[in-house]
A = this chain, B = another copy of it.
Amino acid sequence: MVRKTKEDAEVTRLRIIDAAREVFLVRGVSRTTIEQIATQANVTRGAVYWHFNNKTELFEAMREQVFLPLIDLIDDAVLNESTDDPLNSIEQYFCGIIQTLEQSITTQQTYEIMMTKCEYVEELAEVLQQILSTCQNIVRKLETIYARAAAKDLINRNHHPAQLALDTHLFFVGLLNMWIKDTECKYIRDNAIAIIRDHVQMKRK
């Protein structure tokens, strides 16, 4: 066989991650074997074990490729204090996430795996808690923005920013869930942006 250069090896590594993602998607994380991943990547198990100690590490590598960027988009929305329409930045924030999903099949597949093709037990159990605390942050930031909107008299007086923030967050959690699962009918996928606009619109006075 031909020993690869460092760059070649990195390509192999990425090919293995790609292969893992694709196999995870159709077989589920638990049922996929290292062998199946290797085959899909056109290498042997030897190569997989060279780059990753086990399936969990491979899964983490796949996750890291896409997970970090998405979450922090909210900061853009919060930091933009100068806008005269805070509700618009909320809309932009959520639309941005959806657009990322629409544009990147990799991200799409990874989310689908994480939402419907993996089991949150043992090492992965803590991921759920991470998600929970991320959610708390998002709700807090949404509240900040809604408070600004309230100050500008854009929303109904008797709706509290905290209520609005939680409601909007739950709405989006639901939307994301349905978006991911809606692989057949496509109604949610095709209308996500409009649905988000409607949601924000309904918050306006």
Contact = CB atoms under 8 A, between A and B. Distances in A.
A116 interface: yes
A163 B184 CA distance: 21
A172 interface: yes
Contacts of A132: 178, 181-182, 184-185
Contact of A30 (B119, B129, B159): B119
A193 interface: no
Interface string A159-199: 10001101101111111011001101100000000010011
Interface stretch (A21-29, A35-43, A71-79, A84-92): A21-29
Contact of A178 (B28, B118, B170): B170
A128 interface: yes
Contacts of A177: 173-174, 177
Contacts of A174: 169-175, 177
A142 to B, nearest CB: 13
A49 interface: no
A120 B184 CA distance: 15
A170 B175 contact: yes
11 contacts: A28-B122, A31-B121, A117-B120, A119-B119, A132-B178, A156-B202, A167-B195, A167-B202, A170-B171, A171-B171, A177-B177
Q: Closest 8 CB pairs between A and B?
A: A30-B30, A28-B119, A173-B174, A170-B174, A174-B174, A28-B121, A116-B120, A163-B198
